[in-house]
Amino acid sequence: LELQVRRNSRLATIGQIAAGTAHEIRNPLTAIKGFLQVIRHKLKDSGQGKECGYIDIMLKEIGRISNLVGEILLLSKPRQTDLRAVNVIKVLREILPIIKNEALLHNIDVSFEKSVSALPVVIADGEMLKQVFLNLSKNAIEAMKRGGKLSIRLATMAEERQLRVEIIDSGPGIPEEVQEKIFEPFFTTKENGTGLGLPICRQILMELGGTIEPDSNESGTTMRFYLPLA
Ligand code: ADP
Ligand code: MG
């Protein structure tokens, strides 16, 4: 037990250092980004297209760093979690427009289906739950490069007193050798990925007493998670 306590406090310290570092990186990045945009503007006005291209690359790379830093902050920051009874349908309805909008840009149809025999209420922090929905939908959308269908299904499993949520895409699926790594922090197959979306989802769901598992084949991926009903 003592070992466990020591390990946990060391992890907490590492988390604090990560959050602190991420924060300290973010501020100077904002300044660098701002001035690069000014320089880019000036170069464009004076017709220096090649140099503009360099600045574009710098801005893109800065975008990557700032995504990464944002996700490290999410993962490591000791959050003030606001646990209360929340209706998952309500939470989902609040972010569905964001998901639909992003899907529309990528030629993806979104459907939301529910089959609930009990009130889909769980004890959770609504903001954290939104994070899970957004991360999983984002992955689904990113997987469907040539458009497709995204279904979000919600069902209450009355007997097991569980809520089941499925985020289903018609993308190419996750190759078997990749599947075992997708929850590892920083594992990504994307050029601009951070590899932190799924570890964040899993951590949040674990904190709420839930579980998550992928179910994938060549005709698509279902990310399925369960939460205990309140
Ligand atoms: P990121 O999205 O930044 O790569 P994630 O942790 O969200 O990081 O996902 C890790 C990896 O899992 C992705 O790079 C991708 O290879 C795989 N993945 C996750 N969701 C899907 C999906 N719906 N379809 C195909 N691959 C997926
Ligand atoms: Mg992701």
56 Cβ contact partners less than 8 Å away, ≥ 6 residues apart: 40
**Minimum-distance ligand to the CA of 186?**
1
Ligand 1 center–CA 200 separation, angstroms = 12
Q: Which residues line ligand 1 (CB under 6 A)?
A: 135, 139-140, 143, 169, 171, 174, 178, 182, 187-190, 193-198, 221
For residue 203, what are its two tokens?
Answer: 């951590």
Ligand 1 center–CA 181 separation, angstroms = 10
pTM of the full predicted structure? 0.81
Is the separation of the CB atoms in 210 and 157 below 8 Å? Answer: no
Please report where in the chains the tokens 């030629």 appear, as a residue.
107
- Residue, of 107 and 67, whose pLDDT is higher: 107
153 band by pLDDT with thresholds 50, 70 and 90: very high
91 band by pLDDT with thresholds 50, 70 and 90: very high
Is the separation of the CB atoms in 211 and 223 below 8 Å? Answer: no
Strand partners, 169: 150, 221
Please report where in the chains the tokens 């899907």 appear, as a residue.
103
| Residues in the 5 Å CB sphere of ion ligand 2 | 139, 197
For residue 201, what are its two tokens?
Answer: 């989802």
Cα 142 to Cα 185: distance, rounded to the nearest angstrom: 18
37 Cβ contact partners less than 8 Å away, ≥ 6 residues apart: 59
Q: Closest Cα to atom 16, ligand 1: which residue?
A: 189
Cα 229 to Cα 136: distance, rounded to the nearest angstrom: 21
Q: Is the pLDDT of residue 11 over 70?
A: no
Please choose, from the candidates 89, 70, 85, 62, the residue with its C-alpha nearest in 3D space to the C-alpha of residue 135: 70
Q: What integer pLDDT is reported at residue 223 of this predicted model?
A: 98
Exposed/middle/buried for residue 151 (C-beta within 10 Å: 0-12, 13-18, 19+): middle
Cα 98 to Cα 103: distance, rounded to the nearest angstrom: 9
